[in-house]
Amino acid sequence: METVTLNNGVTMPILGFGVYQIPAEGTERAVSEALAAGYRLLDTAAAYGNEEAVGRAIKNSGIPRAELFVTTKLWVQDAPAQDNTRRAFETSLNKLGLDYLDLYLMHQPFGDVYGQWRAMEAVNREGLAKAVGVANFYPDRLIDLIVNNEVVPAVNQIETHPFFQRSDYQELMREHGVQIQSWGGFAEGKNGLFTNPLLGEIGKEYGKSVAQVVLRWLTQRGVVAIPKSVNPERMAENFDVFDFELTDEQMARIATLETGSSLFFDHHDPQIVAGLAKRRLDA
């Protein structure tokens, strides 16, 4: 497995397994099958409602904890954000049945971001989270957080796929030592991704599927990817992307698919902000 090294020296697999939108009752089986297929990076979140199932799969796998890289995410917290963030972190850790996290991410750039981040810095200093980062932060919010705090986020997990490539933003993050991670790498099939003729043509040259081409395109750019599947055959296929390399010409052709905007939601949209910022999780 190829890896990336985060800004604090922590090593992270460049390809992992995500559990977003996998129902809690199916998550344990899916994670168990992903681990059996070779995945060692697991990505969940408090908001997904399946941390306990991920934890059971980890426990039952028999894989040494040191071989795994586990990420979960903090949802928007009410004031006092520092106290509530600590409680939310401990709740996630308990649900996962772990002594520490490899990466803890602030899921949304809303609420008392500074209070939440100070609490995250604290769990990082204590070794309870080996690295801390953010998700869904646009450039203005990310730079604001960096210049006004002690710890630079190790990761920013953002929508990244062939139709919204984030290349300029990736370069900005690289300049500040922030690792880009993709969510929605397959664009959830939007814009006919899985039948895209350009991606299909490139795949035929290597005997690979469109999904494999997309994952190779992401990882070859240095983007950490976390594809989701509940199908063991697809899991294995998604994991098998390191035996070929796209050419510069093929990378340039894929760049032409850029649309320049999200296919899901805009974190600058007032209605989106209001909806996400007001949502609260049950304890």
Which residues are annotated as catalytic?
48
Please state whether the peptide bond connecting residue 23 to the residue before it is cis, i.e. omega within 30 degrees of 0. Answer: no
C-alpha closest to that of 242 among 217, 276, 271, 267: 217
Number of other residues whose CB lies within 10 A of the CB of residue 124: 21
Tell me how far apart the alpha carbons of residues 95 and 185 are, in angstroms, rounded to a whole number: 27
Backbone angles phi and psi of 210, in degrees to 5:
-60, -40
Between the alpha carbon of residue 200 and those of residues 29, 182, 203, 210, 212, the distances in Å are 31, 21, 5, 5, 10
SS3 67: helix
Structure-token pair, residue 251: 């990378």
The span from the first CA to the last CA of the chain, in angstroms, equals: 36
CB 115 within 8 A of CB 87: no
Burial group, residue 175, by CB count within 10 angstroms (0-12, 13-18, 19+): exposed
Instruction: Specify which residues 133 forms β-bridges with.
Output: 105
